Chain A
């Protein structure tokens, strides 16, 4: 049996100036109820100043099995990091 309401993912901005961060999920009949439940479930101690909710089924996630194919190509491109370049110590402000 499954009469569960839809699943929503909850994102909270802890303070203005910070990004919204995923904190968990909950069930709700609609988006507005999801916001209300998110407030009661995830911000009982002033954990946030702003809430986003999004239907879990709307999220497209990458497949962990393809993680290598996705992220491996970046591994040998160390020249994208500043430490790749040797600069004499006496040269300042670089």
Chain B
């Protein structure tokens, strides 16, 4: 991944030139070639990727909050170590993704500023509260499970730095999902109270997890173009269906009930059929009116402000070291 300083501005070109370039670009994509940072790319491709990768990065960073909430209250030292490692991974994933976005010529500070002033989007799922320990199990199992479903095809995305970041992330994400399911297994095999806690968490997280795949294909504005550019490989509904097909048997194994009275197995298609999704809830959460939107942003802002003196001190120290190195050289 190269610095934006290396990305010289595109020279202005005649319209016919532009059309030829676009055709050549699409031909490269169609031939499954990867696009790398300094390659020519249409401005819309660049902007689409910046928006998607930044949203993805913000989601990782904000996603640390609901789980961080339980680190001090994890039920054992083992669970605590695991949760700390998982939350640290999420922070790392945010870093990989911000780096990938930066190769497209946007500064990290700018992306972070957009998040802090509330202008950037992040995954709606992180605006729900983590009320009990079972929520931590459910997040690993369902939320990370849905994330993996989304992210595996992104490993083949046409933009090289994004694809490489996703390979790294997917490798690490698998532990997140398994540790979550393990928590659920423990609770499901526990007391009546623990089983009720697991069921309650599933009741609250099931629908928001399905919404993670985004609006239905009929309402998804960007899908067609993103698929032509091979940024996206499957539609929202295709991925959502895969997730449901994979997850329902896992819930059955736990002895838990998926909170969808219309859910049924369709013998002919070999898929589960699910009831209608309440998209008004999805849009409200996305617009900022979910249970925790304000709390999440307030926590991010507070963390950013609390870290300001550290950033300033580190910069001052580096400057001082550099100055004394220069003096030593001159002397």
Contact = CB atoms under 8 A, between A and B. Distances in A.
B3 interface: yes
A30 B319 CA distance: 9
Contacts of B6: 56, 59, 61
A45 B110 CA distance: 30
Contacts of A2: 107, 109-110
Interface string B171-211: 01000000000000000000000000000000000000000
Interface stretch (A4-12, A71-79, A84-92): A4-12
A61 B2 contact: yes
B174 to A, nearest CB: 12
A65 interface: yes
Contacts of A24: 1, 96, 99, 164-165
A13 to B, nearest CB: 17
Nearest to B112: A4
A59 B2 contact: yes
Contacts of A64: 36, 38-40
Interface in A28-68: 29-30, 33, 40-41, 44-45, 56-57, 59, 61, 63-65
B102 interface: yes
A56 B107 CA distance: 14
Interface in B141-159: none
B311 A3 contact: yes
B288 to A, nearest CB: 23
A40 to B, nearest CB: 8
Contact of A63 (B38, B92, B99, B314): B38
Interface of B: 1-3, 5-6, 36, 38-40, 85, 88-89, 92, 95-96, 99, 102, 107-110, 113, 164-165, 172, 311, 314-315, 317-318, 321-322
What 8 A-B pairs come out closest when comparing CB atoms? Answer: A56-B3, A30-B318, A29-B318, A29-B314, A2-B109, A4-B109, A2-B107, A25-B1
